[in-house]
Chain A
Amino acid sequence: MTELFFPVEARRARRAGFARLVRIELLKLTSTRLGYGLLAVVAVLTPVWTSIAASGAGGSSGGPQPLYTLAGQTTVIAGGVWSMIIAMVLGVTISSGEFRHHTATNTYLAVPDRNRVLAAKAVVGAIGGAVFGIVGCVTALAVGLSFTAAHGYRLVIGAGTLADWSVGRVVGTALLGAIGVVVGSLVRSQLAAVVGVFVWSLLIESLIGGLFPAVRPYLPYSTATTLAGTPLGEAGFSPASGVAALPFAAATALLVAIALAGALVAARTTVRRDIT
């Protein structure tokens, strides 16, 4: 009993290193089923969407262009970016889940510096997002290329472009995962935050992009999807015409800036609130 309470070993007098905070958040993420469930959603939804798009390519009902064209192959291979929205949902659950399950008390007792906790969660949101991006990329490529080959069409997208899209999909999904963490910190209601992610990404960005096409390249979800090769606006409901997507570096920088700005706002507002 005595040894249990007061062992001889000296007390450590240093703050938890940031790498340890990231490990803690990773352990939290991997010790429940939600993250795996969302990953399964990505692994199922992406090939299903890609299969439907490939099957309807060249049809007369407003589907993608024929699969032997560049536009058709682009839509089929680069269009299934569900992993990006699901990564945002993952990020939301990483942060708002602390309030949904009342675990924030234990979290902040262990690490009283809440801004460091937020930063660690954002890193883990990005790591989780990157994994989602890899799974989404592999499944979309596998299904899209399989359909193209099965029809005997030549792949008109260059290998270099496919590599760029793959890297872009992983980077974009990772950054949206981090942005999701920030959203979940700003909106503590998990349900509201998750619904908000879908409404913003699919409806509001489509609306804003439709009304003000010049703004579309600067909207976060639209921008992230262009990193994966999706034509600007095609992941929403109002494809943009005549407006160019941002270059890779600019789009990445924009998403990083949005994540940092949101984190700054959260750190100065919601993150400081009393945990009652």
Chain B
Amino acid sequence: MATIQIRGLVKRFGPVTAVNGLSFDVTPGTVTGFLGPNGAGKTTTLRILLGLVSADAGAATIDSRPYRELPEPLHKVGAVLEAAGFHPGRTARAQLRIQALAADADASRVEDVLDLAGLTAAADRRIGGFSLGMRQRLGLAAALLADPEVLILDEPANGLDPEGVRWLRGLLRGFAAEGGTVLVSSHLLAEVAQTVDSVVIVDSGRLVAQGPVAELTGGATGGGDLEEAFFQLTRKASR
């Protein structure tokens, strides 16, 4: 199974340092929450990890390799970064067929993941008519097409209804229980507290805290406790 390693990552956009010497690991068999306030550098870190943004310093690897050097990246990593990242004029089924071809996955997988995401009935509708929650489900379906070992998700609960959030929670827990590695960024702390095993908290591009949820909250595991711990840690870091 694959481990995610971030080591001394630095990224500057002009005068702004978005990621500033960030280091952490994400181990297989766990769901790790990647938390931080807006502008903390979460999305930039995920995009560097996925080879979409180049780092100014440091390294981000999956299974000891940069994403761009993975032989069949979609078989190693399934990622959902933006729910809007689909052509609005394409149907969900066509979108998944394209991604199945890109992943060299069996065409039958398209129907499997449509079913898994609860999108079979909407498969031949154009994505432009989808709600945000349906797009999130489609993104997750696409991420699972090639049976990856790692899931990297940026705010996957955005737009999901309560049933969808519950579905997502079960999906991530099941994936990790099978030995998969999950890194999920979110600002829905109450939801994160119910889903993740450990958290990485960042602020202003720096690591603020990392560890099991119970450890950071002093043994309590409720959403309110994580929220309190999050605010204390980020407040302390910003002083």
Contact = CB atoms under 8 A, between A and B. Distances in A.
A24 B112 contact: no
B187 interface: no
Contacts of A113: 68
B39 interface: no
Contacts of A112: 51, 67-68, 70, 73
Interface stretch (A4-12, A189-197, A222-230, A244-252): A4-12
Interface in B82-136: 82, 84-91, 94-95, 97-99, 101-104, 112-113, 116
Contacts of A23: 101
Nearest to B77: A109
Given A106-B142, A109-B73, A109-B74, A24 B52 contact: no
A151 interface: no
B102 A4 contact: no
B98 A31 contact: yes
Interface in A82-118: 97, 101-103, 105-106, 108-113
Given A4-B144, A112-B73, A113-B68, A106 B101 contact: no
A27 interface: yes
Contacts of A34: 89
B237 interface: no
Contacts, number: 114
B224 interface: no
A106 B80 CA distance: 9
Given A32-B87, A109-B51, A276-B52, 17 more contacts: A2-B178, A4-B144, A6-B147, A6-B180, A12-B71, A16-B72, A24-B98, A27-B94, A27-B101, A31-B90, A31-B98, A33-B89, A101-B86, A106-B142, A109-B79, A110-B73, A112-B68
B229 to A, nearest CB: 30
Nearest to A108: B52
Interface in B144-181: 144, 147, 174-175, 178-180
A143 to B, nearest CB: 31
Contacts of A108: 51-52
Given A4-B116, A5-B147, A13 B47 contact: no
Given A101-B86, A106-B99, A112-B51, A31 B142 contact: no
A33 B70 CA distance: 34
A103 B85 contact: yes
Interface residues on B, range: 35 or more
Contacts of A20: 101-102, 104
B54 interface: yes
B84 to A, nearest CB: 5
By secondary structure, the A interface counts as: loop
A106 B72 contact: no
Interface of B: 44, 47, 50-54, 67-68, 70-77, 79, 81-82, 84-91, 94-95, 97-99, 101-104, 112-113, 116, 142, 144, 147, 174-175, 178-180
A1 interface: yes
11 contacts: A4-B113, A4-B147, A5-B147, A20-B101, A28-B98, A32-B87, A101-B85, A103-B87, A109-B50, A109-B79, A111-B102
Interface string A252-276: 0000000000000000000010111
B178 A6 contact: yes
A13 B73 CA distance: 9
A274 B53 contact: yes
Interface of A: 1-2, 4-7, 11-16, 20, 23-24, 27-28, 31-34, 97, 101-103, 105-106, 108-113, 272, 274-276
A12 B104 contact: yes
**In this complex, which of B72, B91, B103, B180 has the most chain A Cβ atoms within 10 angstroms of its Cβ?**
B72
A103 B94 CA distance: 14
A96 to B, nearest CB: 13
A97 B88 CA distance: 11
Contact of B97 (A5, A15, A27, A111): A27
A110 B102 contact: yes
Contacts of B102: 16, 20, 24, 110-111
Contacts of A1: 174, 178
A101 B82 CA distance: 11
Contacts of B179: 6
B103 to A, nearest CB: 7
A109 B53 CA distance: 11
A34 B109 CA distance: 27
Contact of B72 (A2, A13, A32): A13
A16 B104 contact: yes
Contacts of B53: 274-276
B1 to A, nearest CB: 10
